[in-house]
């Protein structure tokens, strides 16, 4: 009995081994046949996630990959090549057999325009983005009054300007917590006392934030906004929140 059981076990194992070899052989032959018939030759590039850059820009970044077998495409190499572009935060490249490459792009979204000698965009991580036609129509706040030295703003890298980093932190806080207020901001600047000043878009209402405790002051400003009822922040010429636990409002005259 034990001998028969051992023989059956041996036969079962042999069947499994032979079956695995057969499947592997079929897959290998399929790939070889596909290569022979050019089934795996690149036939398309599917790109998703583009907003600022055009599909044609990404095709140019990818480079010449036509007439290659999809099996020979270096996915990691393509991702690295795409992510070298300042606008690309992340790129995921995958194969869709038999002959399609899919590229999923996550672009850096500008949070402000830096009004320098050349207008530059900057994202919520303070990464500098090159000048682009998108800048002309972007309804996002302008940063002005900051040090214009070009070496402070290397494209594709985080700005070296401490003040600009702080300004981006302010806008990032507002956008995450008070998106409606962020959309009202026309400009964020610094005055001669190095105090941050917001200028609203509908009316040139100035909001003086000061230099520190900015998030607390913005909360005070928004509480004041809620208490206004039918009036709005733009009903005032100046809103000064530099003082502890209070807001000074000056109406238009």
Position 34 scores a pLDDT of 47
33 in a domain, yes or no? Answer: no
195 shares a domain with 99:
no
Residue 96 β-bridge partners: 100
Average pLDDT of the chain? 84
Residue 191, pLDDT above cutoff 80: yes
As a whole number, mean pLDDT of residues 49-68 equals 82
Residue 12 lies in a domain: no
* Mean pLDDT, rounded, for 114-136: 87
102 with 181, same domain? Answer: no
Q: Which residue's entry shows tokens 């070889």?
A: 32
Place of tokens 């004041």: 224
Q: If residue 45 lies in a helix (H) or strand (E), which one and from where to where?
A: strand 44-48
Same domain? For 243 and 120 the reply is yes
Percent of the chain residues past pLDDT 70, beyond the cut: 82
CATH number of the domain where residue 133 is located: 3.40.50.11690
Confidence of residue 59 (pLDDT cuts 50, 70, 90): confident
More confident residue, 49 or 2: 49
Q: Where does a domain end: 107, 137, 153? A: 107
In a domain? residue 8: no
Q: Indicate if 202 and 133 belong to the same structural domain.
A: yes
Q: What is the number of domains present in the chain?
A: 2
Which residues form the domain of 49?
Answer: 44-107
Helices (DSSP H) in the chain: which residue ranges?
2-36, 55-62, 75-83, 134-137, 162-177, 179-184, 214-227
Q: Can you give the CATH number for the domain in which 51 is found?
A: 3.10.20.310
5, pLDDT greater than 50:
yes
Half-sphere exposure of 246 (CA within 13 A, CB side): 4
On whether both 246 and 122 belong to a single domain, the answer is: yes
Indicate whether 5 belongs to any domain: no
pLDDT confidence tier of residue 87, bands split at 50, 70 and 90? very high
Same domain, 221 and 148: yes
Residue 30 covered by a domain: no
The last residue of one of the domains, among 91, 107, 123, is 107
Q: Report the distance separating Cα 186 and Cα 195, nearest Å.
A: 17
188 plus 214 within the same structural domain: yes
Sheet of strand 236-240: strand arrangement: 128-129, 120-123, 110-114, 142-144, 185-190, 196-200, 206-210, 236-240, 248-251
Q: What is the DSSP letter of 235?
A: G
Q: Does residue 4 belong to any structural domain of this protein?
A: no
27 within a domain of the structure (yes/no): no
- Is 14 inside a domain boundary? no
Place 239 in a pLDDT band, splitting at 50, 70 and 90: very high
Whether the CB-CB separation of 95 and 73 falls below 8 Å is answered with yes
Asked if the model's pLDDT at residue 21 lies above 50, the reply is yes
Tokens of 64: 């010449």
Same domain (yes/no): 102, 114: no
- Is the domain of 73 the same as that of 195? no
Instruction: Answer yes or no: do 144 and 239 share one domain.
Output: yes
Q: Do 135 and 97 reside in the same domain of the chain?
A: no
When pLDDT is cut at 50, 70 and 90, the band that residue 56 belongs to is confident
pLDDT for position 37: 44
Residues 49 and 157 both lie in one domain: no
Which residue, 90, 107, 124, sits at the end of a domain? 107
What is the pLDDT at residue 40?
A: 56
């Amino acid at each position: 009995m034990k001998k028969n059981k051992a023989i059956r076990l041996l036969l079962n194992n042999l069947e499994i081994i032979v079956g695995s070899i057969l499947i592997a052989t079929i897959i290998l032959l399929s790939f070889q046949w596909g290569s022979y018939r050019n089934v795996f030759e690149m036939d398309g590039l599917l790109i998703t996630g583009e907003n600022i850059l055009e599909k044609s820009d990404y095709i140019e970044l990818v480079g010449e990959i036509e007439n290659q077998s999809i099996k020979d495409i270096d996915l990691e190499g393509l991702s690295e090549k795409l992510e070298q572009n300042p606008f690309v935060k992340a790129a995921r490249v995958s194969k869709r057999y038999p002959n399609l490459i899919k590229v999923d792009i996550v672009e850096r979204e500008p949070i402000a325009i830096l009004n320098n000698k050349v207008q530059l965009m900057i994202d919520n991580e303070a990464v500098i983005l090159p000048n682009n036609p998108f800048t002309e129509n972007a309804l996002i706040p302008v940063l002005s009054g900051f040090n214009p030295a070009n070496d402070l703003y290397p494209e594709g890298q985080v700005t070296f300007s401490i003040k600009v980093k702080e300004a981006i932190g302010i806008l990032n806080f507002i956008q995450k917590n008070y998106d409606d207020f962020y959309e009202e901001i026309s400009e964020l600047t610094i005055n001669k006392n190095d105090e941050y000043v917001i200028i609203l878009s509908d009316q040139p209402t100035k909001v003086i934030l000061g230099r520190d405790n900015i998030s607390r002051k913005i909360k005070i400003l928004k509480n004041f906004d809620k208490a206004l009822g039918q009036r709005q922040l733009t009903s005032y010429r100046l809103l000064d929140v530099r003082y502890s636990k209070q807001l000074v409002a000056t109406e238009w005259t």
